[in-house]
Structure 1
Amino acid sequence: MEKIIRNKLYKEFIEPTKQRKNFIGIEIEVPIINLNKKPVDFDIVHKITDNFKKEFSDFSPNGIDYDGNTFSLKNPNNSDIVCYDCSYNNIEFAMGREKDLFTINNRFIEYYNYVKEEFEKYNYTLTGMGINPYRRYNKEIPIPSERYLMLYHHLKSFNKYNDIPMHFHNYPGYGMFSSASQVQLDVHYNDLIKTINTFTKIEPIKAILFSNSVLMDENKHLTCFRDALWEYSTHGINPHNIGMYDVDFEDIDDILNYLETLNIYCVMRDGAYINFETINLLEYFNKDSIKGDIYDKKGYRQIEIKPNINDIDYLRAFKFINLTFRGTVEFRSVCTQPISDTMSVAAFHLGLKEKIDELHEFISKDRVIFHKGYTASELRKLLIQDEIPSFINKKKLCELTNNILNIAKDGLNKRGLGEEIFLKPLYNRVKYHTNPGKEMIKSLHDGIKIEKIIKDYGGV
């Protein structure tokens, strides 16, 4: 059975990377904010969704909830999707794959401006923050659909795991108020090992550049609280399912070995999700049967199923760097950015991918943050705080970060499309020793109203 599992993992995650492509995919999650300091009215959300469908007639529904409301629209011509993520408190712009960032940016700005203007008619707005600053006003109600009800059911089940030596936070609905900016890049089979190993080592630098999820009124010293939301949830029961890789991969077998260490927590049968206590993949397939919960539109009931090799299709890891079934590498550790800086995330990753050999050689020789007794994971946890640890030389850290940006710029220059312009806000962050999360903390400390920050971070 283990050979069958391994072959399936190879076919799903590794085989697709052997095709030579060079596309970019971007997903941008954005919080919806009711400036009246009341819960987001979902009826207003549904009206705006209908208006969007009329304005952009190429889009058609591809997700309808149990109440008959559209939660996802797709344009079949370019594969753009405008949808709601986890709840109707978050909107997501999942841009269809393209060869250049300008094409993606132009379409994103068009969609974003339209939706924002529609919301402003009701004294609502959109903004570029990784945690909704008005989360405490909202109702944490998942989209009544198969996937999101299952996901919330899973995250709420942390009380079942009494025998696990870990601390759980009290935010099982965090998917309804946290937002990310995710990038998917085509990475060829021959570059997989170096790409994963190298990008893992620069996660601490990404924390410095991109942190933008401050939990208002709590943990205000953390500029990227999103990391903790994933780590201390039921997704983090097996730490291999979240966060960073604490190992260097030597070959494809090492990647497959790692995939075999992941946990699985849901599958589908006859179009319905079944959620069960998270369990290691190999252990799952060693079971004759598994007991889980299934939702039948009235509530959850228990069901027993037999593991099937195709259940690997529902293996979901939430690593900072993920292999996907599409043959892409997904980078998912970055918070949603101020909207005017949105493309900086993709530009950074794309440029470095183009210069992966140079980046690998450069970061391998680093002595500014590495070889100080800390792993990359530990360094990221230190660098998502608003104060740089004293053992790190701040001037040298800025030089290190600037040099990595220069490598990304060279990679974009190599493409010859002018995309390096999108890195400009990152150079400014290095110059002024800041990032959006730090800037938000400082602004609040200086007495600037959160409403002004919301407006500034939401501007194009």
Structure 2
Amino acid sequence: MSNPGEADLTPITDRRQLAAWFDQGSKPRSEWGIGTEHEKFGFYHDDHRAPPYDPGAPRAGGIRQLLEGFQPKGWAPILDAGNPIGLTRSKASISLEPGGQFELSGAPLADLHAGWAELQNHLEETRAVAGPLGMGFAPLGFHPLARRDDMPWMPKGRYMIMRNYMPRVGRMGLDMMLRTCTVQVNLDFGSEADMVSKLRVSLALQPVATALFANSPFLEGKPNGLRTLRGRVWTETDPDRTGIPAVAFEQGFGFERFVDYVLDVPMYFIMRDGRWIDCAGASFRDFMAKGLPAQPGVSATMGDWADHVTTVFTDVRLKRFLEMRGADAGSPEMLHALPAFWTGLLYDPAALAAAGALVRDWPVAEMQALRVAVPEGGLTTPFGGRTVREVAADAVAIARDGLKARGLGEEVYLAPLEEIVATGETQADKWLRLFHGEWRGDVSRIFAAAAI
């Protein structure tokens, strides 16, 4: 989403501008990058509570002080109504999710080795700044202890608008905002046809990734009966903007058809003069045609469109790149296995063709049903006469071949996934084993075990 002062004020005068906006993301293969985003829960070491934005005495600090502690390391602040709510350095940024989840949006990098180095540097910087504040960070898919009301709210104007809107459209939208963490990878496409191929493969396999990366088996201190509560949350957030959109598999799908889909996703907001304006539920299609009734004289701009696209929460989001959104956050090795998995599948032509063949005959309705089933069943979920674990083994093998074809030795980063498909034990299964064993039912021990 746009930060204050960053919006493109070009007026929208023709619907073709919107399709062209997506097409401008097309790049030659030599310029394809790998950009990883990952979130983690902050906690105080003494009581495991989520740090508020600015706790005041007697606490030494909270999220605001954490952001300020990064600035001497070359990070420049991003402000919202005078409050630091993010940081930028070079082509990377640090941002806050609504409940204070701390997110690195990494730079687009040429290979996975550079991504691993970026991750290690970020973790070192985070530990150095958070330690003196009495804080740690744990990348988990859903907060294992906190109730919804225990979580703080960050002072970002757009989050207040979403906070008011979410309960109108889904049972768990506020949980998505406050109590979940993900890892995502952003990958490029070379043309409209290349985008379509990659989008279809990645949408079809997203439930498989959800099962592989499952890492949220606890709710408020107890097992929740699922492998990924985060995965379940996304099935009950907002049906107008989430899931596996059937339109992506229709004949003739491309940028223009996706524009039609996005135009029918209800709006959240626009920004004017550094201020977020609540438009929740309004139609962007109507906004283009006749403005907003509550904002006379305000016309739609390309900056408004760019912001609106970021409020589409499909399992794979098309922007000027493709964003894989189906995985729980996890250990550093798993945080990096996610970009390795999707890079291997999508960036080598032979691997993309093999992945396409794997999913070619899957009916859309069955993919959508699988998405609903895997939060509980995980790798044991039946699908097409097989189990998700068996499908995952095929997908990981294709990803390995794709990475080997790149000739950079990047396939080493798939090792955690290869162990999962070999043993059937996900991160969630590991935590449940510890909970019922040496932890003796004390979920709070997960913070020390998962801390970065």
Contact 2:269 2:279 in 1 (8 A): yes
Tell me what 1:245 maps to: 245
Q: CA deviation at 1:39?
A: 4.6
Distance in structure 1 (CA, Å) of the matches to 2:296 and 2:159: 19
Contact 2:214 2:428 in 1 (8 A): yes
AA aligned to 2:189 is V
CA deviation digits over 1:76-130, x for unaligned, max 9?
A: 2xx122333334x321111111101111211221221232244344543211201
Contact 1:39 1:138 in 2 (8 A): no
Tell me what 2:391 maps to: 400
Contact 1:30 1:128 in 2 (8 A): yes
Describe the SS at the equivalent of 1:151: helix
Describe the SS at the equivalent of 2:94: strand
Structure 1 residues 10-409: aligned runs within 5 Å: 10-17=19-26, 19-20=28-29, 21-37=31-47, 38-40=49-51, 42=54, 43-54=61-72, 56=73, 58-61=74-77, 63-66=78-81, 68-76=82-90, 79-87=91-99, 89-136=100-147, 139-144=150-155, 148-158=156-166, 161=168, 168-169=170-171, 172=174, 174-189=176-191, 190-217=193-220, 220-233=224-237, 236=238, 238=240, 241-247=241-247, 248-251=249-252, 252=254, 253-291=256-294, 304=296, 306-310=298-302, 311-315=304-308, 316-324=311-319, 327-353=320-346, 354=348, 355-364=351-360, 370=362, 375-386=366-377, 392=383, 397-409=388-400
Describe the SS at the equivalent of 2:268: strand
Contact 1:156 1:172 in 2 (8 A): no
CA deviation digits over 1:156-175, x for unaligned, max 9?
A: 2356x4xxxx6x32662642
AA aligned to 1:112 is L
AA aligned to 1:352 is L
Distance in structure 2 (CA, Å) of the matches to 1:4 and 1:219: 53
AA aligned to 1:220 is N
CA deviation digits over 1:255-294, x for unaligned, max 9?
A: 3333333222211222221112313432343445332xxx
Query: What 5-or-longer segments of structure 2 have no aligned partner?
Result: 1-11, 55-60
Distance in structure 1 (CA, Å) of the matches to 2:297 and 2:382: 53
User: How many residues in Structure 1 have an aligned counterpart in Structure 2?
Assistant: 419
AA aligned to 2:251 is E
AA aligned to 1:343 is H
Tell me what 1:438 maps to: 429
TM-score by length of 2: 0.83
RMSD: 2.9
Distance in structure 2 (CA, Å) of the matches to 1:304 and 1:277: 16
Are residues 219 and 262 of structure 1, via their aligned partners in 2, closer, same or farther at CA, if it must alter by over 3 Å? farther
Distance in structure 2 (CA, Å) of the matches to 1:219 and 1:156: 29
AA aligned to 1:172 is L
Are residues 276 and 82 of structure 1, via their aligned partners in 2, closer, same or farther at CA, if it must alter by over 3 Å? closer
Contact 1:227 1:243 in 2 (8 A): no
Describe the SS at the equivalent of 1:99: coil
Distance in structure 2 (CA, Å) of the matches to 1:45 and 1:207: 29
Are residues 323 and 391 of structure 1, via their aligned partners in 2, closer, same or farther at CA, if it must alter by over 3 Å? closer
Tell me what 2:7 maps to: none
AA aligned to 2:23 is I
Describe the SS at the equivalent of 2:278: strand
Distance in structure 2 (CA, Å) of the matches to 1:198 and 1:331: 11
Are residues 397 and 215 of structure 1, via their aligned partners in 2, closer, same or farther at CA, if it must alter by over 3 Å? closer
Contact 2:269 2:278 in 1 (8 A): yes
Distance in structure 1 (CA, Å) of the matches to 2:279 and 2:93: 30
Distance in structure 2 (CA, Å) of the matches to 1:11 and 1:422: 35
TM-score by length of 1: 0.82
Distance in structure 1 (CA, Å) of the matches to 2:228 and 2:185: 18
AA aligned to 2:300 is N
Distance in structure 2 (CA, Å) of the matches to 1:432 and 1:387: 13
Tell me what 1:300 maps to: none
Contact 2:244 2:315 in 1 (8 A): yes
CA deviation digits over 1:20-79, x for unaligned, max 9?
A: 52111111111101232245253243444333332x2x3222x1344x553322222xx1
Contact 2:188 2:322 in 1 (8 A): yes
Contact 1:382 1:388 in 2 (8 A): no
Q: CA deviation at 1:433?
A: 1.2
AA aligned to 1:71 is I
Distance in structure 2 (CA, Å) of the matches to 1:125 and 1:201: 36
Q: CA deviation at 1:184?
A: 0.5
Are residues 288 and 72 of structure 1, via their aligned partners in 2, closer, same or farther at CA, if it must alter by over 3 Å? closer
Q: Are 1:411 and 2:439 matched, yes or no?
A: no
Distance in structure 1 (CA, Å) of the matches to 2:22 and 2:353: 23
% identical aligned pairs: 18
AA aligned to 1:221 is G
Are residues 269 and 420 of structure 1, via their aligned partners in 2, closer, same or farther at CA, if it must alter by over 3 Å? same
Distance in structure 2 (CA, Å) of the matches to 1:344 and 1:203: 14
Tell me what 1:294 maps to: none
AA aligned to 2:94 is V
